[in-house]
Structures are given as C-alpha cells and as structure tokens.
Amino acid sequence: MMQQTDLSATAPRSFSRRLRRRVARGVALCAMGSWVLLAIVPVVVVILELGR
C-alpha cells in the first residue's frame, strides 16, 4: 500500500504569492507603527508642555 502525500504543501510558492505576502506584512507593520505613534505622541506633547 502506497501512502499519498500532498505536494501542494511542499511546492515552492509563486513569486506573486510571496510578493503579496511580503506587501501584506509591510502594511501590517506600518499599521502597528501608526498605533504606537498614536499612543506616544500625546504623552510626548504633555511632557513637552509641562517642561515649559
């Protein structure tokens, strides 16, 4: 009895699929960075105003 394997899981990804995945990660990274900036900017502004 031969065991069948799914070759689609081990097949190399196409270039467009890798590019889309990389772009999606970049967009997600920028989105996370914008949330961090949104959280930090008010704190920095308050600190700067208190220092005046």
Give pTM, 2 decimals.
0.56
CA distance 32 to 37: 9
Residues 6+ positions from 21 with CB-CB distance below 8 Å: 13
pLDDT at residue 29, rounded to an integer: 96
Say if residue 13 is exposed, middle or buried (CB neighbours under 10 Å; 0-12, 13-18, 19+). exposed
Residue 5: φ, ψ to 5°: -115, 150
pLDDT at residue 12, rounded to an integer: 66
Name which of 18, 16, 20, 40 is nearest 28 in CA terms. Answer: 20
pLDDT in 10s for each residue of the chain, 52 residues: 556 655 555 556 788 999 999 999 999 999 999 999 999 999 999 999 999 8
